[in-house]
Amino acid sequence: MACIFCQIIEGKIPSYKVYEDDNVYAFLDITQGTKGHTLVIPKKHIENLYALDDTIAKEVFSAVPKVANALKKAFNPIGLNLINNNDKPHQTVFHFHVHLIPRYPDDGMQLSTLNHQETLTQSDYIEIQDAIKRAFK
Ligand code: 5GP
Ligand code: ZN
């Protein structure tokens, strides 16, 4: 099945575009979590974070603060959340996208707060650290 975000970029499906450059497209999420909820995507079809190469990562992430600052100027939110879902449980569109969600007092937006592991020992941290460091090789 054709990718819905590719179809948006191609103009086959309408969208409320707020920003575009040669490589990046940003548009209002059709389900506005809060006023101004925007998705920033690469124009090239990339499934998710794991598949981003250096060039596209730079292109997308350099657009993110531009859009964030426009949202800040437009709506004067008290804050803004940056969210990106990869695979389970939350990714529903498999074209990489960053959610920018401006936050307002009592906006009712329900984002789970980070759960903190209660007590990890020093060796737990070292084990976790080693596993990640090994994975770079
Ligand atoms: P995910 O759950 O993959 O992180 O986010 C996908 C987002 O894409 C959802 O928030 C959903 O509302 C949005 N979305 C899905 N289909 C469309 C569409 O056709 N147009 C727009 N503008 N947003 C869409
Ligand atoms: Zn796509």
User: In CATH, what number is assigned to the domain containing residue 106?
Assistant: 3.30.428.10
Ligand in nearest proximity to the CA of 5: 2
Nearest CA to ligand 1 atom 17: 30
Q: How far apart are CA 133 and CA 128, in angstroms?
A: 9
Element (H, E) at 38: strand 38-42
Q: Is 123 helix (H, G, I), strand (E, B) or coil?
A: helix
Residue-level length of the chain: 137
- How many domains is the chain partitioned into structurally? 1
Active-site residue identified among 45, 97, 99, 116: 97
Q: How far is CA 88 from CA 57, 111, 125, in A?
A: 21, 16, 25
Q: Reply yes or no on whether 97 is catalytic.
A: yes
The tokens of 136 are what? 């770079």
pLDDT in tens, the chain (137 residues): 699 999 999 999 999 999 999 999 999 999 999 999 999 999 999 999 999 999 999 999 999 999 999 999 999 999 999 999 999 999 999 999 999 999 999 999 988 777 777 789 999 999 999 999 999 99
Q: How far apart are CA 62 and CA 128, in angstroms?
A: 30
Q: Which domain holds residue 71?
A: 4-135
> Which residues have a Cβ under 8 Å from the Cβ of 103 and sit 6 or more positions away?
34, 77, 78, 79, 80, 81, 109
Check pocket membership of 49 for ligand 1, CB cut-off 6 A. no
Predicted structure pTM score: 0.95
Q: Give 1-35 pLDDT, tens digit per residue.
A: 699 999 999 999 999 999 999 999 999 999 999 99
